[in-house]
Every structure is written in C-alpha cells, then in structure tokens.
C-alpha cells in the first residue's frame, strides 16, 4: 500500500468544544504503532453515547476530540505485532476490546477485558499515551479507542472484529455498537424464557434491538416504556405489544407495570441512560425471579437508590456493556445472523446522510427522530 507507514491527511469531524456543532477539518493521521491498525472508515452511525460526550453535561469534558464508535471499515495498514489482520480486511470497531489473554477474556462470563475495556475519559492510545490525530501538529483526542468520525482512524487490534467481507458495511456498521448491545442485553444477560413478559425502557435503536432479542427469545408480552409518545408506532414493528408513557400516569411507572402484569414483569431492559428509569426498571420486575438489566450510560454522578428489601424479595439487578458480547470472538457471528436473515438491520436505519452533514445526525437524535442515521464517507 502506497500510504502504509506515512501520515495520511483526510477529513474528520472535530468536536472543538462541548455542545458546539462539529467542524469538518483536514487532520493528519499518524501510521499505526505496535498492535495498532489504521482503518479506512466507510460508514459510521451516531449512537446516543457520542451525544453525551459531545454535550459533556454529565461526563468529563475532553476536547478537542474526534467522537464516533459505531462504524464499519477496511484495514489500510497494520503496525508491528499485528498478525490477525491484513490490509483489505473488513472490520467493525468496538469501544470495548478483547485482548484474548487476561482473566476477563478467558472467562465465559465477562467481556470486560483488563487491557481494553471501555475508558471514556482517555483520549490517547494505550501503547504510548499519545494521540494519532493532529491538526497542524496540535493533537486532537481520541474517543473510546475508536474515533470513527474520521475517514481514517487508528485503533488497537483488540478493538476490531474481523467480519465476513461479503457483509454490506452500510448495514452491519450498526452492529458495531447499538444493535449488538441491545440484542445481547436481552439474549445474553436478561435471558427471558419463552412465553414471558419483558419490559423495555427507552425505545431508541438500543431499546428496540433489546426488544428484537425479546421477540427472538419467544417473549409473549413486550411492554415498551418511553417518554416520547411517537415511539410506540415504530416499536410495534419490533414486537411491542403494550406501550406505557410515564407522563400519562401520576404514580411511578414501576407501579403501573406491576399492576398491569399482576405482580411484575419477568425481565426488564433499561436503555435510556436516565437514573429514574433505571430504578423503575429494577423495581418493576417480579419478586422471586425478575431480572433487570441496565444498559443506558448514566450521568457520571448518578446514584442508584432502592430499598434493600427488593433484593431480599429475590429480584436481580444486572448491567452490561456491549450486550456481554466479546467483540472479536462473538461479533463476527452476529454479522452472520444478519447474513442468514435471522436479524433485520434495515429497520433500524431510518436516515442516511453524507459525512459532511454529520450535524444533521446530531439534530435528529436530539429531537428523538428516527433510530440510526448512517453517514457515508464517500459523498
């Protein structure tokens, strides 16, 4: 490759300041160092997590920064020690990695790699503590090891899943975060039984993917909970049988759900990021066997409060990053589910814009319109 080992100049969307529109800039992307890979991003989507770190209201501000973590691309070049990937491989970046060597990677239970687990405050590569992005020599920070809002980005090899090259990247890019996260939260963590009742809090792409998982598991009643009444129509396509808007009730929504189900739902999956919804999701599950799974990214100072009697009453509370999938080991198989038509992705992709219109994707998410907006790097 003509570009290997050289600095690449390309377009990236830079967040210079919290809450200010991103600016498309020409950035310099350094070659990958040991155990790193430089990836040509072809498609990237916007997830609500990017919006939280751009707003930086409940999160540590790290600026200037290149956000983005839901994407699909092709390996441009690899650094020293990388043997599993070669230029031309199709990859999905993942914000939480898999070194394959640590106790967590060796455990069947965990996907929280000791070396590469999500770190939202770090803006540099773990190898040398430096950024690979500069503008006129001034460093621009990375985001969760992926920074996909750039035509080229540098990623640790452990944060890249090598996927079937036949898989269309404009579709499977949404498996790099949101859809796998929601699906796995239900299938791998909540594990609802056939015929059970499942509540999903937050009907964005992550929540609707969790709903898809509930449908696959054979849940017979699926209750969607959202503050936005417009979300119900869309959710019906994902198997939503009942809808509850907390704003329509004077009592806490957990009480509404417990009454509707004569004692509580069998499982609840929270995909809002709102602390009150997290508490409601836990308190609405049935005594004896109910399981609640937290997926939403909370405000950094949020505190979860509930009465200990809820635990004594045999309710279980869990949480997950990336639906407990190990990115390198498990994600290629989730892509195959799409290839075998066992999982539809098209219905999650409600908007598609050229990369230069990235701020439109932010506006849509802030307005609560649509699910995923996919941006294409080639205009």
Nearest CB to Zn ion, comparing residues 49 and 286:
49
Which of 105, 240, 271, 284 is an active site residue?
Answer: 105
Nearest CB to Zn ion, comparing residues 52 and 338:
52
* Interacting residues with ligand NAD between 95 and 134 (CB under 6 A): none
Residue 296 phi, psi (nearest 5): -60, 145
Which of 48, 104, 132, 351 is an active site residue?
Answer: 48
| Active-site residue flag, 47 | yes
> Are 133 and 140 contacting, i.e. CB atoms less than 8 angstroms apart?
yes
Which of 124, 227, 260, 339 is close enough to bind ligand NAD by CB under 6 A? 227
Pick the closest to residue 62 from 131, 153, 155, 152 (CA basis): 131
Nearest CB to ligand NAD, comparing residues 91 and 373:
373
3-class SS at 283?
helix
Nearest distance, CB of residue 130 and ligand NAD, angstroms: 27
DSSP 109-153: S----TTTS--SS--S-TTTS--SEEETTEEEB-STTT--SBSEE
Which of 8, 37, 47, 268 is close enough to bind Zn ion by CB under 5 A? 47
Nearest-10 Cα torsion for 295, 301, 302, 305 = 120
User: Is residue 58 within the footprint of ligand NAD (CB under 6 A)?
Assistant: no
Crossing angle between the packed helical segments 253-260 and 275-283, to the nearest 10 degrees: 30
User: Is residue 272 within the footprint of Zn ion (CB under 5 A)?
Assistant: no
Among ligand NAD, Zn ion, none, partner that 206 touches (CB below 5 to 8 angstroms by kind):
ligand NAD
Which of 32, 202, 264, 290 is close enough to bind ligand NAD by CB under 6 A? 202
Taking the C-alpha atoms of residue 260 and residue 258, their distance in angstroms, rounded to an integer, is 6
| Active-site residue flag, 69 | yes
Give the side-chain half-sphere CA count within 13 A for 37.
29
Q: Which residues bind ligand NAD (CB under 6 A)?
A: 47-49, 52, 177-178, 181, 201-207, 225-228, 231, 246, 271-274, 276-277, 295-297, 320-322, 365, 368
């Amino acid at each position: 490759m003509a570009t290997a080992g050289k600095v690449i100049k390309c377009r990236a969307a830079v967040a210079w300041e919290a809450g200010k529109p991103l600016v498309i800039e020409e950035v310099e992307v350094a070659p990958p160092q040991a155990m790193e890979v430089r990836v040509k991003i072809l498609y990237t989507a916007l997830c609500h997590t990017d919006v939280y770190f751009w707003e930086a209201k409940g999160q540590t501000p790290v600026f200037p920064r290149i956000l983005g973590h839901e994407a699909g691309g092709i390996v441009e070049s690899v650094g020293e020690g990388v043997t599993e990937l070669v230029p031309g491989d199709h990859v999905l970046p993942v914000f939480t990695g898999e070194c394959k060597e640590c106790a967590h990677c060796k455990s069947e239970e965990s996907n929280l790699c000791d070396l590469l687990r999500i770190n939202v405050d770090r803006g540099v590569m773990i190898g040398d503590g430096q950024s690979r992005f500069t503008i006129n020599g001034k460093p621009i920070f990375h985001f969760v090891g992926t920074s996909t809002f750039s035509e080229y980005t540098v990623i640790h090899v452990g944060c890249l899943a090598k996927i079937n090259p036949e898989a269309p990247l404009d579709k499977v890019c949404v498996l790099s975060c949101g859809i796998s996260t929601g699906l796995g939260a239900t299938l791998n963590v909540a594990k609802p039984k056939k015929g059970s009742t499942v509540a999903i809090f937050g009907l964005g792409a992550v929540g609707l993917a969790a709903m898809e998982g509930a449908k696959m598991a054979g849940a017979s009643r699926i209750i969607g909970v959202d503050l936005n009444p417009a979300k119900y129509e869309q959710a019906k396509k994902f198997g939503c049988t009942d809808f509850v808007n907390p704003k329509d009730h004077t009592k806490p929504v957990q009480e509404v759900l417990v009454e509707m189900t004569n004692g509580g739902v069998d499982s609840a999956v929270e995909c809002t990021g709102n602390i009150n919804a997290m508490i409601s999701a836990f308190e609405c599950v049935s005594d004896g066997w109910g399981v609640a799974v937290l997926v939403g990214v909370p405000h950094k100072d949020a505190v979860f409060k509930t009465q200990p009697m809820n635990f004594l009453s045999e309710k279980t509370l869990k949480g997950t990053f990336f639906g407990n999938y190990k990115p390198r080991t498990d994600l290629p198989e989730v892509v195959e589910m799409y290839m075998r038509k066992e999982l539809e992705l098209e219905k999650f992709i409600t908007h598609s814009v050229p990369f230069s219109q990235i701020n439109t994707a932010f506006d849509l998410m802030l307005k609560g319109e649509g699910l995923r907006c996919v941006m294409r790097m080639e205009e």
